[in-house]
Amino acid sequence: MSGLEGGCACGAVRYRLRSGPMFVHCCHCSDCQRQVGSAFVINALIETDRVEMLQGETVRITMPTDSGRPHDTHRCAACGTTIWSDYGRREVLSFLRATTLDDRAALPPDVHIFTRSKLPWVRFPEGARVFDVYYDMQAEWPPESLARREALLGPGR
């Protein structure tokens, strides 16, 4: 899964993944819907240092959230495409916008979250793991991904 490349709409920002993500969310919350102008956003959770910037600059824009935690979006300085975000100023953990990859279908979601606010016409694939709000990370994430997250953020975080 490493070696996947992506970028912004105008081509000014390009990046490469040094590994696969820890986990992939398809988020249907109203905040994400507003931010991306669509029914949902697909976020690939990955260590920031595993996203190699090949060219271009991003700017950080802080978005409001219902929780009150900062949601920093990192966007192309030229066209405004959000490349990744982080929550609560944990800049070591990126929520990479999976559809900024050149192969937009490369990282299908592991789970669908905040489906209580999904648009009524959205349907889930058979067998999809679907949650009204969030989920129990210990129950849903693969052990290897949990170990990566703990190594990054520390035990219990």
The DSSP bridge partners found for residue 58 are 76
- Return the pLDDT at 1: 64
pLDDT in the model for residue 68: 76
Give DSSP secondary structure letters for 10-49: SSS-EEEESS--SEEEEE--HHHHHHHTSS-EEEEEEEGG
Q: Where are the domains of the chain?
A: 5-153
Say whether pLDDT at 66 is over 80.
Answer: no
| Phi, psi (deg, nearest 5) at residue 52 | -90, 120
Phi and psi of 152, rounded to 5°? -80, -45
CATH class in words for 5-153: alpha beta
Q: In angstroms, what CA-CA distances link 107 with 85, 87, 99?
A: 17, 21, 8
Q: What is the pLDDT of residues 93-141, one digit of tens each?
A: 999 999 999 999 999 999 999 999 999 999 999 999 999 999 999 999 9
Task: Pull the structure tokens for residue 95.
Answer: 């929520």
Determine the 3-state secondary structure of 148 from DSSP.
helix
